Amino acid sequence: IQVFEGERRMTSDCNVLGKFDLNGIPPMRRGEPQIDVTFNVDANGILEVSAAEKATGKSQTITIKAEKGRLSETDIERMVKEAEEFAEQDKLQAEKVEARNSFEAYVFSLRHTLEEKGFQDKLPAEDYEALKAATAEALEWLEENTSADKGEVDARRKELEEVAFPILQKANQAAGAAEGSEAGADGAAGADGAAPPADDGPVDDGQGPTVEEVD
C-alpha cells in the first residue's frame, strides 16, 4: 500500500508519504481481494493510514508524522498551480487508465468463466474454443499496447464483446434449459417419486345413500 499527497490525478505527479505491506492474504484470483483503506488525521497533523482485507480480516497501519516527508508551503503552491495547468492532460490520462483497467478486469473475468467447472459442457466445442482464443488475444493485446489511448482500448474491448456476448448468451440459455428440465421432472414425480394420482371425480366406496321410511 502506497500513500501519496498532491493535487494531480496520477501518483507519478504526487509526493509519496510512505508505503507498507499488507501480509497474510492467501492467493486469490485477480480482482477478488477487497481492501478497505481509511485515513485519520489528528489535531497535531499526524496521519494514520489503515488497510484491511475483508475476507481474511488481515490489517496493517502506518503512521506518518507531520515533520517527515511532507510538502512545504512552496511545494504545495507549485503543485496546485501545476494541477490547474495540466488539468485537461490529467483528465485524458485518467480516462485512459480507467478504460484499460476496466477492459483488463473484463478479460480476466472471461478467463475465470472459461475455467469454471462445467462451463465447457454448456457450449459446442467451436464456441468454447472461439471464446478462449478471443480472450487470450485480448490479454496479449493489453500486454503489447500499454500506451494505447482510451479510444483504442474501447474499440478493442468492443471487438471482444462482439465475440463473447452471443457465446455467453448460449451458455446461459443452456444452463436455464437444464434447470427447467430438472424442475419439470421433480414436479411430475411428486414428493415420493411416484406419479400423482389422476383426479377422476368422487370415489365410490360401495355404500349408497341411506333411506329411512317415515310413517
How many other β-carbons are positioned within 10 Å of the β-carbon of residue 160?
20
Same domain as 101, residue 175: yes
Report how many domains make up the chain: 2
pLDDT tens sequence across 146-183: 999 999 999 999 999 999 999 999 999 987 776 655 55
Same domain as 43, residue 104: no
Whether the pLDDT of residue 209 is over 80: the answer is no
Whether the pLDDT of residue 198 is over 70: the answer is no
Using CB atoms within 10 Å of the CB of residue 58, give its burial: 0 to 12 exposed, 13 to 18 middle, 19+ buried: middle
Same domain as 96, residue 40: no
Q: Between 130 and 180, where is the model more confident?
A: 130
Same domain as 177, residue 129: yes
CATH number, domain with residue 122? 1.20.1270.10
pLDDT tens sequence across 175-195: 777 665 555 555 544 444 444
CATH number, domain with residue 38? 2.60.34.10
Return the amino acid letter for 51: A
Does 173 reside within a domain? yes
Confidence (pLDDT) at 64: 85
Same domain as 102, residue 29: no
Q: Which domain holds residue 67?
A: 2-71
How far does CA 48 lie from the centroid of its chain? 29
Same domain as 152, residue 92: yes
Same domain as 181, residue 104: yes
Does 124 reside within a domain? yes
3-state secondary structure 73-138: HHHHHHHHHHHHHCHHHHHHHHHHHHHHHHHHHHHHHHHHHHHCCCCHHHCCHHHHHHHHHHHHHH
Cβ atoms of 29 and 57 within 8 Å: the answer is no
Same domain as 117, residue 47: no
C-alpha cell at position 28: 486469490
Same domain as 65, residue 109: no
State the chain's mean pLDDT as an integer.
Answer: 83
Same domain as 162, residue 101: yes
Same domain as 105, residue 62: no
Does 20 reside within a domain? yes
Nearest to 89 by CA among 10, 153, 146: 10
Average pLDDT (135-140) is 98
Does 77 reside within a domain? no
